[in-house]
Structures are given as structure tokens and as C-alpha cells.
Chains A and B, each alone.
Chain A
Amino acid sequence: MALTEPFWTFLKIAAAVGFGLNVAGLLGWVERKQSAVIQDRIGANRAEIFGFRVLGLFHPLADAIKMMTKEDFVPPEGMRLWHGMAPGLSLLFSMLCLAALPYGDKIVLGGHALSLQPLPLSAGLVFVLAMLSVGVHGVVMAGWSSGSAYSLIGGLRGAAQMISYEVALLTTLAGPLFLYGTLDLAEAVRWQAHSIGGIVPAWGIFLQPLAFILFMTAGAAETKRAPFDLPEGEAEIVGYFIEYSGMRFGMFLMNDFIESIVLAGLTTALFLGGWHVPGLAHLHLSQPVFALIGVGAFVVKVMAVLWLLMQIRWTLPRFRFDQLLDLGWKNLLPLAILNTLVTAWAVFLAGG
């Protein structure tokens, strides 16, 4: 193994960000097609290259071309520097989250152990949550620097929502963290390797079902996707990015998709057993093959969670703003605290 450690880390981060960006591009297609199939429609299928349409897979490409060739307009009242920085800032911090997700276990080649997690941090969860929180800055910055009262209102609405659900999200995660006893995402996945009574895998979803539901709800609100898409309100209520056009607008859309991927990755790592496949350990595969199948399992689970998020997005109507804050502060937060207390008590009684 001639691979030096920095080079290997760089390679992994590039792969993780590439994975995120590609899936985010693909999610635009998934969004169109899944909504179409749910609603008995066909969905976008007209973009073609040399007569090939391939189920409308070229539409994200057409979108990108359209966004890049459109005028990048800065409102005359706006602040040019901050207006230009805001979407990049949002996107940068979401992509940093991608690098901390535990895609796979360690791979042992020729006596060297290579971690498949791009950034193996001992406090990976804290890192991801911190980076997700910084996303608020992009939203408020976009709203303020546009020089428009409407986008400012949208930005403040977004900030109020994201900070409210931040509290519920973190409190919810306290329960699983009492169980796993670690902030390292890879260690949390390793903890879920064993099974309860030899049948049910010890995944977070089975041990902490309430936390799973609360986490998904708060996470969907955190990523500003429907039914919690009040900061954006695509067509009906103005959002923080109304003064944006062209690719900067596209970066905000991209940011939403990447945040969804990060949320799906966190859900997979903390609640769905990460890279584990039940029963695979009995097959006695060689270690690298085992690790690579794990990476595949992680990606499949992330896709499944994304499917569920998309399904929820096309099922539920949007909340009113008072309902949204009520749900966050009066329902999710007390339930999360209750879950934390019960889990802490149970862990204490079990002598953990």
C-alpha cells in the first residue's frame, strides 16, 4: 500500500462529495418521476439527446444548462458581496457534512487498515450537527442581502423554523446516544452490529422507535422540505431566495437535496444500522468484500430513506407557521425529553 494517509483522505472526501452531488442531481429527477407515478402521471420525459430519452434522465442536465445560462441578477438595493456568498456558504457547509458520514467499515488490505469514512472524527455527530446548524446563516444572509422586505421575512421565517427544530433534533438524539455511548458515527454503527435475541438486529429503529419518528420529523423540518417548506414556499408564499436567479438559485435547490442526503445518512447511521446487513456475518466473506458490501448496503439504506422523505413530501400538505412552531416546541421537544429520560433510566437499570 503506497497510498499515503492525506492522499487517501482526499480521495475519500472527493468520492463522498461526488456521491452527494450526483445523488442531489438525481433527486431532481426522482422528485419529478416519483410525484408523477404517485399521481398517475408520466412525468418529465421530453429532454432528449440524439433521440434518446432514457425515462427523462436528461432533465436534470437540461435544468443545469438552463440555470447556468440564465442571468445572475443582483438587485440594485442588495449587497453584492453577501448576496453572492450566501448560496455558496449554504452549499459548502452541507457538503462538509457529507464527508463525515460513515459510508463503510475499515478495510484491511495487506496489513493496513483503511477507514472507509472520509473524515473519521471522534465527535463526528457533533461535527455534522454543527455544520447543519451553520446552514441557518446562509438562509438569513440570503434574506438580508437581497435588499427586499419579502426575502427578509422569508429568511427570518426560515431561521425561526431551523433554530426551533434544531433544539428538538438534538434532544431527540440524546436517547440513542445514551445507548451507543459514543459521538463517533462509525462507533455508533459498530454498536448496532449485534442482535437482540439472535433475531432482530439491534438497530436504533427497533430500540428507539419514538426517537426515530421524532428524528425524521425534526430532520425533515431542518432540511426545509415539504411539509415544512415554509422558508421557501415555492410558489405560494415568498421565501428567502426570491431575489435569486440562475445558478445561485440552483445552488439553494441543490443545498436542500444535499441536506436531505445528509439527513438520510444520519438516519441510516444512527437508526438503520449503517453498513450492516443482517445475516451477512454468517457467510464468512473475505474482509474487503465484506466492507464493500457494507458500503453498498449503506447507499441502499440512504436511498430508501430518501424515498420515504420524498413520499412524505408528496403526501402531506404544508403546515401553517403556528402549527409548525407548535409541533416543534409543544410536541416534539417534550416527547424527545421524555424519550431521553426513559432511555437514561433504562440504561441505568440495565447497568450500562
Chain B
Amino acid sequence: MNALSISQLRKVYSNGFEALKGIDLDVEEGDFFALLGPNGAGKSTAIGIISSLVNETSGSVTIFGHDLQKHRNQAKSCLGLVPQEVNFNQFDTVKNILLNQAGYYGMSRKVASARTEHCLKQMDLWDKRDTISRRLSGGMKRRVMIARAMVHAPKLLILDEPTAGVDIEIRRSMWEMMQDVNQQGTTIILTTHYLEEAESLCRNIAIIDQGRIVENSSMSQLLARLQVEHFVLDLAEALTTPPDLEGYQIELVSPKVMSVAVPKTKGLNQLFNYLTQHNIQVLSLKNKTNRLEQLFMDLVQAKTNRV
């Protein structure tokens, strides 16, 4: 069964702006799915419609078989949302935020208390349960929102830029947490501007741009399409001119830093053989850009050029 099915979804705002131009999208149960796109592409509008915060103009949304228009409450019960912005009552305690949310989902106080304890412990927030939420750090507030979205044990969890603005340590711990939640059976849809995050976590991906889905495939299939990878090499000694190797595009970023575009058909061995033969010692090697980032830019750029 699909966790989410979207069919011909359109949204035209009152000012005439068409944010979604009839998108179709399926997300399988158990998937960890990336929904990517540049700012203003229509991601937030799509998530808003799925989570009943935005009224659609036309089209349909089905969550675990429940049509959002016909069986809204059943569809809502399957869904948990972690929004971009902090939207809980900042004057309430962490525990009350979760207890209230559980109450909205019809959970008895006893069950709500047990789920609250479970989710706060899972997010490492149990010792903060009686803290007024506005006193929490930014990373903790993000985790409160994830715990709140998980309190009714949703089958589909939408994370809208959950790691925006948090430091790398917290981000990594949140990745682990998200992977745990997914492994326990929860389908996750993730939107993020950190493409490294999407590449590391997600199995399938859709890229949305200017209100249309411009790419929808598995992460591995998409990355396999990358024909050229860009690397940056740190050299032991300075060069005055870049090496001339046929089939490779080599540039000097600085005398001791070299940028190389490596075609997939050629690989790295030939490049290193050539450098060794010419006594050019390489100290370190890294990807110039994240692989998904490269593809993302290509896809979005191609679409922009066509328009």
C-alpha cells in the first residue's frame, strides 16, 4: 500500500500565483522519501495540503488509503507533521505540549502520558519535561516538535526541514533518530536544503520545481545518472600550469589546489597514474560538491533554461 498518493494536485493562491501545477506523487509504505526543490518551488504548499493546513484548488490526496477530502479524520490520524517553524505554545511545558497534542488525537490521559514519556525519552528530552519550552535551545525545540509529531504513533511522518539552523552534532544525532524511527516502520517524507542529508538518509526522491515534479526516482538510479564528478586535490608542491590529460578537465584553483572533472567512463586510476608519472604528489582528495547537489543543480537549471 502507498503511504501517500497525490493525484493532479493543483494550488492557485488568491493572488493568482499557481504554486502547484497538477503534481502526481506516490510514496510507498516504509519508505524514507526526499522531497526536494529550491525555495518557492511548491514543497511547502504540497506539505501544507497533505497536512490540512492549506486548501487545495483541485486534485486528490490519499494517506494510507484514506482520501483526505472524504475521510479527513482517518487520513489525519495516520499523519504526523514536523513543520519548518517552531509552532508550539512557548509558554507551556514540554510535557504539556505533548499531552495536549495526544489529547487532540483522542488519546486517553493514561495512554497519552505513557506515549509522552516514550517520545520524550526517545528524543532525549525526558529531563526537560517540566521546562517551559521557550527556555529550550534551538536544537531542543526541534526535537520537541519531532516528539510531538510522534506522540500519536503516526504511520507517516513529514519532516519539513527538521535540521535547518542546528549545528552539525545535533544534525547527526537527529539523522540517527530519524533512521531509527524509519526502521521501526514509520514512513518518512523529508524536505531539506542539505542535500548531503537527503543522499545519506533517503531511498527515493522527488524534485519539485516551479510547481511541477521534475524528477521522481530512486536515489541510486538518480545518482547513477551523474556522468561527471568533480574533485578537489590538495598538492604537495605548487604548479604553474594545470596538467594536460586527455578526457579530464583540470584547473588550478590555486598553485597547490587542483580541480578535476572526472568522467564516469574514465575513473580515477588513469588520473593518478598520470600524476604519479609526472611526480605530482597528492596530499588529499575530496568531492567538490555533494553528488546529489550536482544533479539537483543540473535538473533545476535545465528546467529553468527550458522555461
Are A and B subunits of one complex?
A: no
Q: Report B's interface with A, CB cutoff 8 A.
A: none
Q: Report A's interface with B, CB cutoff 8 A.
A: none
